[in-house]
Structure 1
């Protein structure tokens, strides 16, 4: 085992099995504002970009108030917290990191809901610091948040990894000069594709 390994985790689709809840919240939001909801197209969009980008684009296109849409969506999603679960193998991998002395952090585009969900799912104590959309950093793929964690905790770039599930996560890791572990993306140098979280144990 290498020393001083650190994992920086994305949440939605990585540690959190949450896309169904996110899409349900978006569907309610669309219905509330009288919009047609194309689930496959919207899921593809948020996987490529983000929910915030989606709401901004729709608000601009439809002449709606962005803040009103975001507030309604956030309230809808909070009501669906119980529908969000850990991804298979998440707790086992986190327990393994503790045994191995690996440091864990979170960098996610999720907002205020993040800390409550981490508490609800019983994994808040695994992380030294959790950065969210409310932490004030530039959004992915800008590496500002990752650079902050690297500098603050003196992480070694050659043994620090951003674990995610989107191309955006890989791009963010590479721009920060660290490794990437990804549940979806392959064929990119310095990125290791895994099929499930438990595959991480075999990488180290």
Structure 2
């Protein structure tokens, strides 16, 4: 498999943000006098999403899921000050660029993601990006990926979507590109990805 174009998810793939995501969600629920087991909530947001969790809780408890989600975003923006890249993130992104290949970003996080990348000297290693601020349908809808592919005239056979959740893999499949599942939590929820890795350096060793 020869790959030239690497489309990366951010949260849980390039950067270890889920500690503060989970902390913020628990804090949000506590404001509504709701308590949940930390490990069960973590699995839910990794298998689904924070938005799914807030909407589900809203329906069960007769609350506004959108209001809960909005409050979560306020809290998470305060808590998530300086997330750290996973081991291998910096090396593989820079090696892709140095090899004349291209990195792209596709994240449900808003444009503040560029601040996190800049803090670690990674903002300029990406050729292009789609964030929540671009208002595309959420994964696994392929619209955002198709936008990247069309805008940068990418060869489908040489393009891969890399993420830590099944919805990342399914988005890639729906866009007819290759997929790599980063099994950082050993959840084994790879959705039939073309490749499964537990360390980002494995991507560097195999493809770059």
TM-score (norm 1): 0.91
Unmatched 5+ stretches in structure 1: none
Distance in 2 separating the partners of 1:186 and 1:78: 28
Distance in 2 separating the partners of 1:163 and 1:136: 21
Local SS of the residue matching 1:35: coil
Distance in 1 separating the partners of 2:70 and 2:131: 17
**For each residue in 1:17-49, what CA deviation from the matched residue of structure 2 results, as whole angstroms up to 9, or x when unmatched?**
111111000111011111112211111111111
Please state how far the C-alpha of 1:115 moved relative to its aligned partner.
2.6
Contact 1:105 1:128 in 2 (8 A): yes
Indicate the residue corresponding to 1:197 in structure 2.
200
Local SS of the residue matching 1:79: helix
Please state how far the C-alpha of 1:145 moved relative to its aligned partner.
0.8
Local SS of the residue matching 2:81: helix
Please state how far the C-alpha of 1:188 moved relative to its aligned partner.
6.1
Contact 1:7 1:103 in 2 (8 A): yes
Indicate the residue corresponding to 1:7 in structure 2.
6
Equivalent residues, number? 203
Change (3 A) 1:189 1:54: closer
Per mean C-alpha deviation after superposition, the further-off stretch among 53-62 and 171-180 is: 53-62
Per mean C-alpha deviation after superposition, the further-off stretch among 6-15 and 194-203 is: 194-203
Please state how far the C-alpha of 1:112 moved relative to its aligned partner.
4.4
Local SS of the residue matching 1:45: helix
Please state how far the C-alpha of 1:68 moved relative to its aligned partner.
2.7
Distance in 2 separating the partners of 1:78 and 1:45: 21
Indicate the residue corresponding to 1:149 in structure 2.
148
Indicate the residue corresponding to 1:39 in structure 2.
38
TM-score (norm 2): 0.89
Change (3 A) 1:28 1:172: same
Indicate the residue corresponding to 2:133 in structure 1.
134
Local SS of the residue matching 1:42: helix
Distance in 2 separating the partners of 1:31 and 1:188: 33
Change (3 A) 1:141 1:113: same
Indicate the residue corresponding to 2:68 in structure 1.
69
